[in-house]
Amino acid sequence: MANLPQIRLGTCHIIFMYDVAFAIDLDEAERRITSFKQRETIKHKRRAPRYFEYHPAPLRVTQEPGVELVLYDFGAVSVIYRRPLAGDFSQLLRISEELYENQSLLDESRRRVDDVVKLIRPAVSKLNVSSFVEDYVIFQIEAFESDVPIGDLTHKYAAEVAQVLRAESRQLSADEIRDAVCQHISYGTNDIVIVDWNAALVIDREAEDTLAVLEFANVELLEMRFLDQRLDEALGLAYERLNKRSQGWFPFRSNPSDLRDVSQWQVDAAILFEGVNNVLKLLGDQYLARLYRLLAERFHLTEWDAGIFRKLKTLESIYEKLSDQVVTRRMEVLEWIIIVLFVISIVLPFLTATQH
């Protein structure tokens, strides 16, 4: 990396994302948090219609210099650490390796999440901090010591950039390098965003909008993973309920809450799915919309969406089968009651006549 230019000004953004609840009342949370806070909006540095906003706007909390928490109404919380960058480009590889699966920083971020959740507990609905976490690193460089053609980062210096993005000190193959740097986008001649699965390199002086989209795409990935896990659990439980009903002959043998539980799982999953997908509206800024599509492709968000939608349909199918079983068995009981009453109505006159 000796031929790479020196970094004059930059920032390393380390993000940890958690799912903590079904929903967060951001207005109530804002009232309970005493540290500096602001509602997140897109800054519109580039030309774009004003309707490009978060709906609703997340709550950004600054706990101390270089540490922020962002709360989303659909129950996600992200912890963002910011560290200054300057000097040799080679340090990015060292930082990337240090941050990869950094347990101490992970534990510290979890502590911050637990503390803020305790503080806003009345604003939290169905508290349940997820067992897994999404982490992401963004290397933002505002300026090099000398002019660097943007195209060099994906061609001349592609091998070095790929090592940073993959946190890999070994020399990578040509295929791996090509895959690591293939997803990139530029707005002007002096900026570029190169996105990979675990990290991104952003060359831009005014990157607030870009960083916001990168953060949200990672939060969306977290929620897709979490929702997929919840649906797997719900499908397993729903199948057990369906199997128990199919083995019993008495229509009310199973717990009467079966249909209610399956319906609740279905509704909760659908609300979360729609909430995550409808928070950020990108139609007003074509560049950021293209950036989001790039991230969606890299993170396979479309595949996650399709898988979740398929599981929602399966859960709906199980609910319908449970409902059909209940209706069918109730009809069978009613038929037997009618038959018994009919038999009694026939036999009763003979019994009465015999007694006389």
> pLDDT tens for residues 4-45?
788 999 999 999 999 998 889 999 998 888 777 777 665 555
Q: Is this model's pTM higher than 0.85 or not?
A: no
What pLDDT does 277 receive? 65
Q: Is the peptide bond before 56 cis (omega within 30 degrees of 0)?
A: yes
Mean pLDDT over all residues of the chain?
82
pLDDT value at 251 more than 50: no
pLDDT value at 139 more than 80: yes
pLDDT value at 279 more than 70: no
Contacting residues for 14 by C-beta, under 8 A, at least 6 apart: 80, 81, 82, 83, 99, 105, 135, 136, 137
pLDDT value at 281 more than 90: no
What pLDDT does 51 receive? 41
What the block records as the tokens of 214 is: 């990168």
Which of the four pLDDT bands, split at 50, 70 and 90, describes residue 338? confident
What pLDDT does 292 receive? 87
pLDDT value at 298 more than 90: yes
What pLDDT does 182 receive? 93
What is the C-alpha separation between 206 and 191, in angstroms, rounded?
A: 9
| Spans of all domains in the chain | 7-206, 218-348
What pLDDT does 275 receive? 64
Least confident of 89-93, 213-217, 282-286, 330-334: 282-286
What the block records as the tokens of 204 is: 């831009």
What is the C-alpha separation between 133 and 112, in angstroms, rounded?
A: 14
Least confident of 8-12, 216-220, 306-310: 306-310
Task: Convert the pLDDT of each residue in 172-194 to its tens digit.
Answer: 999 999 999 999 999 988 999 99
What is the C-alpha separation between 200 and 185, in angstroms, rounded?
A: 12
What is the C-alpha separation between 100 and 168, in angstroms, rounded?
A: 10
In terms of pLDDT, which residue wins out, 69 or 43? 69
Q: Which spans in 182-207 are helix H?
A: none
What the block records as the tokens of 282 is: 């990108």
Stretch 230-239: mean pLDDT? 76
What pLDDT does 306 receive? 82
In terms of pLDDT, which residue wins out, 312 or 207? 207
> Phi and psi dihedrals of 146, rounded to 5?
-135, 165
Task: Convert the pLDDT of each residue in 316-329 to its tens digit.
Answer: 777 676 666 666 77
pLDDT value at 299 more than 70: yes
Task: Convert the pLDDT of each residue in 78-134 to its tens digit.
Answer: 999 999 999 998 899 999 999 998 999 999 999 999 999 999 999 998 888 887 899
pLDDT value at 246 more than 80: no
pLDDT value at 1 more than 50: no
In terms of pLDDT, which residue wins out, 279 or 289? 289
What is the C-alpha separation between 216 and 281, in angstroms, rounded?
A: 11
- Confirm if 171 and 31 have CB atoms less than 8 A apart: no
What pLDDT does 257 receive? 60
- What percentage of the chain has pLDDT greater than the value 90? 38
Task: Convert the pLDDT of each residue in 141-178 to its tens digit.
Answer: 999 988 888 989 999 999 999 999 999 999 999 999 99
